[in-house]
A = this chain, B = another copy of it.
Amino acid sequence: MTLLSDAAVLAELEQTPGWTRVSKTLDRTYRFQSFRDAMFFVNGVAALAESAGHHPDIAVHYNVVALSLWTHSAGGLTAKDFALARTIDAVLA
């Protein structure tokens, strides 16, 4: 995967509402009604991650889930990160 230029990242961000670029990563935080709802979401993310062969960092703080995506092999953000971010929101949000 090719590392995206800053301009390409901005263009991708416009198509990926709710996600923020934080240094080298693409991040989003989700808040749920309960821990159970949060875990249901986390398991959906895990399934999509396995399917994509691309795995976000996942942090669960009771009913809040934070996802962080980046492409390790490229050392930053690639199209793969934005594709998975959009798939997560399309399927689970």
Q: Give the number of residues in A that approach B within 8 Å (Cβ atoms).
A: 15
Contact B59 A57 (CB under 8 A): yes
A47–chain B nearest beta-carbon distance, Å: 9
From residue 74 to 91 of chain A, which have CB atoms closer than 8 A to chain B?
none
Taking a contact as CB atoms closer than 8 A, the residue among B36, B50, B57, B61 that contacts A60 in the complex is B57
User: What is the copy number of this chain in the assembly?
Assistant: 2
Contact A59 B58 (CB under 8 A): yes
**Chain A residues with a Cβ under 8 A of chain B:** 35-36, 39, 42-43, 46, 49-50, 55, 57-62
Given that A57-B60, A59-B59 are known contacts, is A39 also in contact with B43, CB under 8 Å in the complex? yes
A29–chain B nearest beta-carbon distance, Å: 14
